[in-house]
Structure 1
Amino acid sequence: MLKPLSELIAEARQHCHSIDASEALQQLASTPTPLLIDVREPGEVEKHRVKGAINIPRGVLEMKMIAMCHDPSQPILIYCATGGRATLSAVALQGMGYRNVMVIQGDCESISCALNEGL
């Protein structure tokens, strides 16, 4: 039987650490500074861009991540438009060996507003 995307995301959420935008701001103010990764497609990023975020679309994340970060303990914050791609991305990064991955929950507009005001 095929699993719908909603079920895949629900299962993935059980294996990743989620935080809200206020917790993300606290993380971004800490040392070491986390990588902030937007896994949306480039065309989506223009509408709600977060200062300091690196855009690595979900489809190429595993191919580009090791070039971006060699430290498996580096804090990584991930977000997308609704949380689904970010959740799947977090599980993929954990599978690659990254140990400190967090998904910023919420919709992209509220995340970008909260982070941009706080940064």
Structure 2
Amino acid sequence: MMTYDDMLGRCRERVREIMPWDLAERLGTVQVPLLLDIREPFEFQAMHIPGSINVPRGVLEAACEWDFEETVPELVKARNRDVVVICRSGRRSLLAADTLQNMGFASVVSLKTGLRGWNDYEEPFVDGNGKAVGEEDADRFFQPKVRPEQMSVQNSI
């Protein structure tokens, strides 16, 4: 049986990851990559990196192709463009980046440490209305919310 960590490990063998400071540097260049935030819409509405687009991981494959209700033209057209895949922690984005590579996207990376790392690096966020999100609000949003019954110690009793 393969665990979530096993799946992530396999993806890390195939997908290149960049750190938040690498992304901040790339955003200051002429050829800005497509920022693909694959979190759920409510997460994206709360805060995201300015300029990113939201395509939830659950509809990613259909969003990458023409002729589907989920089609996102900007994403379909990005097959030969640099794409940075973003999520909360860098785990979902790793899986999504692997999927994009399998679908023929030529230049895909995952943001290692995700938006938590972006926040730790004190980079800016905006909410769904384009309004800047304060540091304290971002810190609260990224606090772990694992309940006791979700912890492995609890499950082994």
Select between 41-50 and 9-18 the one with higher mean Cα deviation. Answer: 41-50
Alignment match of 2:89 (pick from 82, 90, 96): 82
Query: What aligned pairs does 1:100-119 form with structure 2 within 5 A after superposition?
Result: 100-112=107-119, 114-116=122-124
The structure, 1 or 2, with the larger RCO (C-alpha pairs under 8 Å, 6+ apart) is 1
Residue of structure 1 equivalent to 2:43: 44
Cα distance in 1, alignment partners of residues 103 and 114 from structure 2:
26
1:7 aligns with 2:3: no
Pairs aligned (count): 116
Structure 2 gap ranges (5+): 66-72, 126-157
What TM-score results when the alignment is normalised by the length of structure 1? 0.85
Cα distance in 2, alignment partners of residues 111 and 101 from structure 1:
18
Residue of structure 1 equivalent to 2:143: none
Query: What aligned pairs does 1:17-36 form with structure 2 within 5 A after superposition?
Result: 17-36=16-35
CA offsets per residue over residues 54-101 of structure 1, 9 Å max, x none? 111111111112432324320001111111110001110001111110
Instruction: Quote how far apart the aligned CAs of 1:109 are.
Output: 3.2
Cα distance in 2, alignment partners of residues 115 and 104 from structure 1:
13
Structure 1 gap ranges (5+): none
Cα distance in 2, alignment partners of residues 79 and 10 from structure 1:
17
Residue of structure 2 equivalent to 1:72: 79
Instruction: Quote how far apart the aligned CAs of 1:46 are.
Output: 3.0
Cα distance in 1, alignment partners of residues 23 and 54 from structure 2:
17
Between the aligned residues of both structures, percent identity stands at 26
Q: Which has the larger radius of gyration?
A: 2
Cα distance in 2, alignment partners of residues 106 and 22 from structure 1:
11
After superposition, the CA RMSD in angstroms is 1.9
What TM-score results when the alignment is normalised by the length of structure 2? 0.66
